[in-house]
Structure 1
Amino acid sequence: MKISKLVLSFILSISLFSGMLSAQMASTEMLVGHSVSSPSKDKLAQIISREDVAKRFEELGVDSNMIEARIASMTDEEASKIAYQIDTLPAGADAGMSIVGAIVFIFIVLLITDILGVTNVFNFTKPITNN
């Protein structure tokens, strides 16, 4: 008898709390009944409507209507993540610094080899001699 009461109370407690497990926050969109456009989705729509971007999509064979439909189906979190990446990722602006870095690296290597006496590239260095 005690076991049946225990099993019954266990099943009853699970059934009572199962409704609370599926509870969620009520968003403004659910309460108002229509979608509120996010600024990230608006920004993405503006980007794909640019002439150079539309031309590139056309070269790749992507339909602009499909892109608009995909942006509309994105969640706000996905749209804001993509908009953030567009704002923060460099678009070839870092190439100048990598060239300068390569030139400095080559200069330092040649300078060290001149000091060690392996090469004679620079006139202002004197090689180390073991006399």
Structure 2
Amino acid sequence: MNGIRRHLKQFSLVMAILLAFATTVSVSAHAGMVGTGELIQQQQVDLDRQQLLSMLETQEVKDKLAQMGVSEDQVAERIQKLTPAELADFEQQLAQAPAGEGVVGVIVLFLLVFIITDMLCATNVFSFVKCLR
């Protein structure tokens, strides 16, 4: 019986130390209000990304990208990595493009994304584009 009590005392000492450690190191959560504007902005960014990705699905765009030696997966990955500001700028340029440009305008905009990501050292698709770093 004394052996069990001696082990019980050691066990309770270890548990007390663990409890003290756990209460001092605990992380508190912070809650904040999410504004409607922030929520709408995030949904707009997601919608813009989906619109660009849907443009990739047209056969004309796929053929043109294949002629240039760029895979559809590379384009989709880069679209996912665009910041909201870059995405908004890209969408604005696409909206200002003449309606008759069609596929050529989309391809030019995709190439612009490639060049920007090459300049930012995120990719290395074009050898003539030098990294800014």
Same fold (TM over 0.5): no
TM-score, normalized by length of structure 1? 0.40
Larger Rg over CA atoms: 1
TM-score, normalized by length of structure 2? 0.40
